[in-house]
């Protein structure tokens, strides 16, 4: 029987920035299709560098990336079409309204107009943005902008969703709503890779967790498996033990 194709397969990925900083030091990672996967680590550990390398926003020095079996470099159109990214920093096109952000995004991904309009309606409603649809994104509050980023990432119906610190600067109410929604998406079959500083968020949501530090995967297992292996009560304790261990050499 054939092995199921993983949603993401990263092999020996290495990325050195022009200032000499080694952001990824031979990272290998596999995320099974349909998995809710957490990537945890301190600032500068390599989380965003890893996501950027997958979507070609960073140029890795070596290594390979496959998205549902498609090479992210050679078959970049197919690979990128399957990926949605909600980035850490808000980066909305200031010339566009909320609705236009969604429709133009769909267009960039080749989604047919009628389908894009239907999808936009659905997401505007889902993220309670219907009343703001004609407003320019530049005048929205931080929380609203975060919702638009989310909706934008989902516009082209990706199969693999990267959520890079999605709840940074988001109030508690919205955070719970987002959790509920992404959980629902995951149950619907969407593979999710989440990076977060909120360890309880990772514990709450993720089936499998990888801890990354200094550009290397320090530990990877299911949430339960990690807690067992490190004799810990929570992922926070696992985190502190792994990072403490790494820091201590």
Partner 1 sequence: MLLADRSFRTLLSREILRFTRIWMQTIVPPLLISLLYLVVFGVALGPRIQEVGGVPYLQYILPGVALMSLITGSHMNSSWSVFDAKRERYIDEVLISPMSDLQIALAYSLGGTLRGLIMGTGVLVVGIPLVGVTVEHPGLLLLIGVLSSFTFASLGTMVGAMANRIDHISFLTNVVVQPLAFLGGVFYSVEMLPGALRMAILFDPIFYMIDAARYATLETSDLSPYPTLGIVLLLAALAFTGAWWAINRGPNLRY
Residues that bind partner 1 (CB under 8 A): 17, 49, 52, 55-59, 76-78, 80-81, 83, 85, 87, 89, 91-96, 100, 104-105, 107-112, 152
By beta-carbon proximity to partner 1, the closer residue of 85 and 246 is: 85
Please state the closest distance from residue 41 (CB atom) to partner 1, in A.
18
Please state the closest distance from residue 113 (CB atom) to partner 1, in A.
9
CA–CA dist 240, 231 (Å, integer): 12
The length of the chain in residues reads 249
By beta-carbon proximity to partner 1, the closer residue of 109 and 150 is: 109
By beta-carbon proximity to partner 1, the closer residue of 112 and 200 is: 112
By beta-carbon proximity to partner 1, the closer residue of 12 and 94 is: 94
By beta-carbon proximity to partner 1, the closer residue of 47 and 81 is: 81
CA–CA dist 7, 36 (Å, integer): 11
Please state the closest distance from residue 35 (CB atom) to partner 1, in A.
22
């Amino acid at each position: 029987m054939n092995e199921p194709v993983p949603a993401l397969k990263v092999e020996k990925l290495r990325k050195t920035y022009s200032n000499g900083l080694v952001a990824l030091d031979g990272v290998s990672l596999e995320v099974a299709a349909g998995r809710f996967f957490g990537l945890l680590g301190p600032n500068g550990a390599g989380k965003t560098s890893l996501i950027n390398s997958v979507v070609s926003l960073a140029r890795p020095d070596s290594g390979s990336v496959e998205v549902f079996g498609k090479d992210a470099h050679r078959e970049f159109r197919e690979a990128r079409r399957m990926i949605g990214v909600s980035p850490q920093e808000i980066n909305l096109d200031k010339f566009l309204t909320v609705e236009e952000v969604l429709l133009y995004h769909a267009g960039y991904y080749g989604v047919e107009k009628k389908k894009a309009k239907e999808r936009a309606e659905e997401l505007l409603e889902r993220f309670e943005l219907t009343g703001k649809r004609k407003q320019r994104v530049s005048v929205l509050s931080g929380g609203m902008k975060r919702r638009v980023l989310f909706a934008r990432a989902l516009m082209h119906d990706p199969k693999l969703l990267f959520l890079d610190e999605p709840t940074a600067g988001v109030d508690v109410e919205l955070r719970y709503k987002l959790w509920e929604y992404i959980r629902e998406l995951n149950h619907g079959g969407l593979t999710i890779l989440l990076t977060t500083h909120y360890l309880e968020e990772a514990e709450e949501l993720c089936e499998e967790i990888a801890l990354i530090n200094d550009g290397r995967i320090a530990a990877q297992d299911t949430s339960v498996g990690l807690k067992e292996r490190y004799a810990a009560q929570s992922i926070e304790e696992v985190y502190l033990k792994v990072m403490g261990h790494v820091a201590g050499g």
